[in-house]
Every structure is written in C-alpha cells, then in structure tokens.
C-alpha cells in the first residue's frame, strides 16, 4: 500500500464497503459521541468521516488530536446507517473505522478556525493566509480561478492564437500608473522597471510577424488599492492581432469572454447583445465609463426646463458656460421617505443634497408634481420633464447640476444606489457593453495636455486629427464593461512613426524623449509595421465576478493588504547594508 494513501478523501463510495483503505489529510472537525470519536478528515479532494470507539487501538491517539493536525489513518470502510447518510457529501454513504493512526504534522492552537464560516479580520486572515486558504469558500475561489485560466488558454488556442512570454525586467513605460523600479547592480545609478503591461513587447511581436499573440501576463503597478484592484500586481489575458480593425478585435474577444461566463457563471444569464456605447454617451447616461446595464435607469439632460425658470439655484447655475442639469429617473420612487434617503446618500457623497420631483395623484384624480422644485418650476415645466423622462404617477426624478466633470461621478453612484434601493437591478445576469471613442487627451490640473488613456493608441483620423484641438481627438480605444466593472481595455495601435511622434508631441514629449524612452518600438516601426490592435482582460476581476465576490483579494491566492503589505511574508522589508552597498544605494531617513 502507498505510504500515505490508497484513496483521497473524496473517493470512497458505497462500492468500497468492506475495503481496507489508507487516507491522509487534515482534521477538519472532531466530535465525541459518548465513547465514539468522529473525525471529518479533509484533503484537497473532499471529506471523509472516520471514527474510532474505545475498542480501537487508535482511540487514544484520536482523542489527543487538535484541529488541523495532519494524520494518516488505516481502516475499514463501513456503510452508514440509512438515517445517518449525509447526502451533501459525495462520501456521505460511508465512514471508515480507524484501526491505525499516525500524526504526520501536528498543529498548534489555531489563530483562526478553518471549520465554519466565521468572519475574521482581514489582517488576521492575510497573516495566516495558508490557513485561510483551507476554508471552503476561498479554496473553491482559487480552484475556480485555475479553471478559468485553463479555459481561457483553450479558447485562445482554438482561435489560432499562440502563447508567448514577455520580459519581467524591462524599461519604464507610461501606462497610467507608477512603476515599480528595480535598481541595477551591474549599472550603478540605473534602474529597470517591472512591466505595468507587456504593451511594447506585444506590439513588437506583431512587427516580428507572429500575427496572433496571447499570454496570461503578470502586470505590476504601484497603485492605491481598491476593492476591485490589487495595489501591486495582477494578471491579465493579454492579446494582440495583426491586420485588424476595432470590430475584428470585438468579434474575437466576445466568444472567449461570453463562453467563460456561460461556463462558470453558475447558471446566471449571459447577455449576448454587447452594445457599442460612445464614451461621452456613457458618462451622460450612466455617470461612468463602466456602466452596470442591469440597471435600466438612464440619466438625461434637462437643462432647458430650468434655464430662466423660477428655480433660482439651477437657473443661475446655467448662466455659466459648460454647466448643465441632469435628471436621474426613479421609477416607483415617488415617496418622501425615499427622497429623504437619497438626499442623505448625496450628502454622504459630499453634496448638499439632490433636488427631486415626486409625481403623485391629485385630489381631482390627475397626476401632480410635488416637492420644492415642482413648486418653483410650475405645472407646465414639471409636466414637460415627466414627459421627457417617461415617468408616471408614483415615480420620481432627482436632479444634479453644475459642470459635468464635477458631478458625473456622484450622479453615477446615485443612479446605482437608486436602482439598488428600488430593486431594479437584476442580480441574476451578466450584461456587457463596449465603451468606444475615448478621448486621446485630457487637461491636467495645471492646464497641460496629457494622454487620457493608452498613449500607444491610433487617433481617429490619423495625422489630420492631430492638427486641431487635442481635446477633440478621439482614439481607437475601447473598454469592455460588465455589471459595473471594467473587464477589458484595449486599442488599435499607432504603428506609424510620424503619427506617433506627433501624438506624443501634443502631450509634451519632444521627439528626442520619445526616441529615448521608446526607441526600440520607434526603430521597429521604421522597418515595416503592420496595422495591429488588441486588448487585455483582467483575470482577477473576471474571477471576482464569477465567484460573486465584492473584494478582489477573495480570488487571489496571496494578496497584499490595503497598505500594499504582505503580512505573511513580511514585505516590504528593509534591505541589508550589504545589499545596499552592492546596489550603491542609500536610503533617506523617514520624514
């Protein structure tokens, strides 16, 4: 017999009754039923109930076992009494009578239990992640992640993509976040960077003639953490294709992502209709470039109804250039109690509140508008607003005004909150949308022009588009949104050196700086570069949605905490003096 097991803890069935077996695993739970000891023995594959009574030579040893001790047992498989069958376990028809036991790995007293679903502080869970990973929910999430990655690989190979690996130590490149720098011992004073993405390398793979590339790529960004973003590293499905336009990338990606969600979505509906929504339209209707289309609410501009009206706050506001008033419809939200809750929500977001109109039944049976705004606007204007928004008796609308870039984000969150409160969001589905026509440039706080997204994207209109106002230039850039999250970001690339130099010039990079920072790619483009494009899909975020988790750390095996610390391994740590001397570095004292 094998030294540790003849079967796994998920193998044994009724057909094994009478067999002599050997199992190894962890003591998941121990129970004493009046002289009979029961242990749920757990391994990666499942759980088997084993038992010993006072006649068993293993009884005394079993009595001393602590939870999570690793043991090896020998025993005989017995059928359970019919009334004791556990239909929830694949092994629930049988149990194993223990005749011999060996402790393979003793366990100290646990800092957090593995058995049960107790909610422990995240800092404790991360410090003892190896224990946390033994718990069913997290163990299942990590197994789901592995299956998703395997399915991605199969789907990409089935579409004639080839998997390549790109360097981890490389040069710094502007990708929208801070680099992690790596000092060079052989070149004192110089630094490598961990790649924020394999962007330049995958474009060079296209220039090299490989046509279709993909990789499950690690990416490194020194970012502030969020619930849906890791602060240090993450994995993405990275892909690139030659001789394609935007619609070709979409047609390639959809069967991969849709297939994943159909395969692992636990029966939730997967919408096959993926609309193309321009970036500006998405901000207007949803207040975000990653809209949750499960929520049917669409915001509308209602400025004309307030311009020169009796509602002085908005009327005066609209006298300023670049301002507008938007309405958030709230079907079935026509109660003062609900309006007060939404006002409180707006105040939590840093606003004074949200104006509102409620439509209710009047004494004469007609529909009338109520609320301070309704009184100031009058019946004709409130009726025009109701007609524009398609609302009826029992409905409401909420209003925000000002410069859109100052209130859009809050409006988007309010739309989500209203949809959630009113039960309008169908939680049992996945809805996707391509967000397209992103602006190439934005104005920074100090008034300069900079890239708003990927700097290597092709501007719509090419060189001609770059001769006018930079803020009017759109790029062939696109994101895929699903249920309020960005899953994919990509672009058709700028593969022409002259256009690339001009695009960077508008963002303040002279030709010499472009040659210095991206010399390899510029050089390659001078020797015949095909039109190409691609995208990257965030694997962590995809698994988070499939696992129905709200925190991305629940689907990453060894995540950092929210301060970008590895509590289990003690990173970041202070280097030794010898390491610093080798690198010719000196650390400044803490401020």
Residue 122 assigned to a binding site: no
Contacts of 575 (CB under 8 A, 6+ apart): 587
Using DSSP bridges, classify how beta strands 432-436 and 441-443 pair: parallel, antiparallel or unpaired: unpaired
Contact 141, 547 (CB under 8 A): yes
Residue 112 CA to residue 130 CA, distance in Å, equals 11
* 526 in a known ligand binding site: no
Q: Does the annotation list 175 as a binding residue?
A: yes
Residue ranges of alpha helices (H) inside 336-483 are: 336-348, 372-377, 379-389, 404-421, 462-465
Are the beta carbons of 483 and 430 closer than 8 angstroms? yes
SS3 30: strand
Residues 417 and 333 sit within 8 Å (Cβ to Cβ): no
Q: For residue 426, say whether it is annotated as part of any ligand binding site.
A: no
- Asked if residue 539 belongs to a known ligand binding site, the reply is yes
Contact present, 133 and 564 (Cβ < 8 Å) = no
At 208, give phi and psi (nearest 5°).
-75, -5
Q: Is 540 labelled a binding residue?
A: yes
Separation CA 160–CA 311 (nearest Å): 61
User: Is residue 297 within 8 Å of 424, Cβ to Cβ?
Assistant: yes
Q: Shortest CA distance to 330 belongs to which of 367, 309, 363, 359?
A: 359
| Residue 326 β-bridge partners | 301, 400
506: nearest Cα among 467, 476, 460: 467
Q: What are phi and psi of 38, to 5 degrees?
A: -115, 135
SS (H, E, C) 256-293: HHHHHHHHHCCCCEECCCCCEEEHHHHHHHHCCCCCCC
Coil, helix or strand for 467?
coil
The response to whether 123 counts as a known ligand-binding position is no
Q: How far is CA 405 from CA 208, 304, 319, 443, in A?
A: 42, 19, 17, 12
Among 399, 356, 394, which Cα is nearest to 374's?
Answer: 356
Half-sphere exposure of 525 (CA within 13 A, CB side): 22
User: Has 319 been labeled as part of a binding site?
Assistant: no
Contact 84, 41 (CB under 8 A): no
The annotation status of 538 as a binding-site residue, yes or no, is yes
228 is in an annotated binding site: no
Is 493 flagged in the annotation as binding?
yes
Return binding residues: 175, 221-223, 453, 486, 493, 538-541
Return binding residues for ATP: 221-223, 486, 538-541
Return binding residues for L-aspartate: 175, 221, 453, 493
């Amino acid at each position: 017999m094998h030294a540790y097991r003849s079967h796994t803890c998920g193998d044994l069935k009724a057909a094994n009754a009478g067999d002599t077996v050997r199992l190894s695993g962890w003591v998941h739970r121990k129970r004493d039923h009046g002289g009979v000891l029961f242990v749920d023995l757990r391994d990666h594959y499942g759980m088997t109930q084993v038992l010993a009574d006072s006649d068993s030579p293993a009884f005394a040893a079993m009595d001393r076992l602590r939870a999570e001790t690793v043991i090896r047992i020998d025993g005989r498989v017995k059928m359970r009494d019919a009334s004791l069958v556990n239909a929830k376990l694949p092994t629930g028809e049988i149990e194993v009578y223990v005749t011999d036991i060996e402790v393979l790995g003793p366990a100290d007293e646990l800092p957090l239990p593995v058995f049960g679903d107790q909610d422990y502080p995240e800092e404790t869970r991360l410090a003892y992640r190896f224990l946390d990973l033994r718990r069913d929910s997290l163990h299942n999430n990590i197994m789901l992640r592995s299956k998703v990655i395997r399915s991605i690989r199969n789907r990409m190979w089935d579409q004639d993509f080839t998997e390549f690996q790109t360097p981890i130590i490389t040069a710094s490149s502007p990708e929208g976040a801070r680099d992690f720098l790596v000092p060079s011992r052989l070149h004192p004073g110089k630094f490598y960077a961990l790649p924020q993405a394999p962007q330049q390398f995958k474009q060079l793979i296209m220039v090299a003639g490989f046509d279709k590339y993909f990789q499950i790529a690690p990416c490194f960004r020194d970012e502030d953490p969020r619930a849906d973003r890791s602060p240090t590293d993450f994995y993405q499905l990275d892909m690139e294709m030659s001789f394609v336009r935007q619609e070709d990338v979409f047609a390639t990606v959809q069967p991969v992502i849709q297939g994943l969600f159909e395969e692992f979505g636990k029966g939730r509906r997967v919408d096959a209709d993926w609309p193309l929504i321009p970036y500006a339209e998405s901000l207007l209707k949803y207040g975000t470039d990653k809209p949750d289309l499960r929520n049917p609410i669409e915001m509308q501009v209602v400025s004309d109804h307030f311009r020169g009206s009796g509602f002085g706050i908005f009327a005066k506001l609209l006298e300023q250039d670049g301002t507008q008033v938007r309405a958030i419809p709230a079907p079935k939200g026509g109660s003062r109690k609900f309006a007060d809750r939404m006002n409180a929500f707006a105040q939590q977001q840093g606003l004074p509140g949200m104006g509102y109109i409620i439509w209710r039944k009047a004494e004469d049976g007609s529909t009338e508008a109520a609320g301070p705004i309704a009184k100031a606007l009058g019946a004709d204007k409130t009726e025009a607003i109701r007609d524009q928004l398609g609302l009826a008796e029992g409905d409401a609308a909420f209003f925000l005004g000002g410069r859109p870039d100052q209130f859009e984000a809050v409006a988007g969150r309010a739309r989500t909150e209203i949809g959630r409160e009113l039960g309008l969001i169908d939680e049992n589905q996945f809805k996707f949308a391509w967000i397209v026509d992103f602006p190439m440039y934005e104005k920074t706080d100090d008034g300069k022009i900079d890239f708003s997204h990927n700097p290597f994207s092709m501007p719509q209109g090419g060189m001609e588009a770059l001769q006018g106002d930079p803020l009017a230039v759109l790029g062939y850039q696109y994101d895929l949104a699903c249920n309020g999250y960005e899953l994919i970001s990509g672009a058709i690339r700028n593969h022409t050196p002259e256009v690339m130099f001009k695009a960077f010039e508008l963002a303040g990079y002279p030709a010499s700086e472009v040659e210095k920072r991206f010399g390899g790619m510029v050089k390659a483009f001078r020797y015949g570069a095909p039109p190409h494009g691609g995208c990257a899909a965030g694997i962590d975020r995809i698994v988070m949605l499939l696992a129905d988790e709200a925190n991305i750390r629940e689907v990453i095996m060894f995540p950092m905490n929210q301060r970008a610390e590895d509590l289990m391994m003690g990173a970041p740590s202070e280097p030794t003096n010898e390491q610093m001397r080798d690198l010719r570095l000196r650390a400044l004292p803490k401020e």
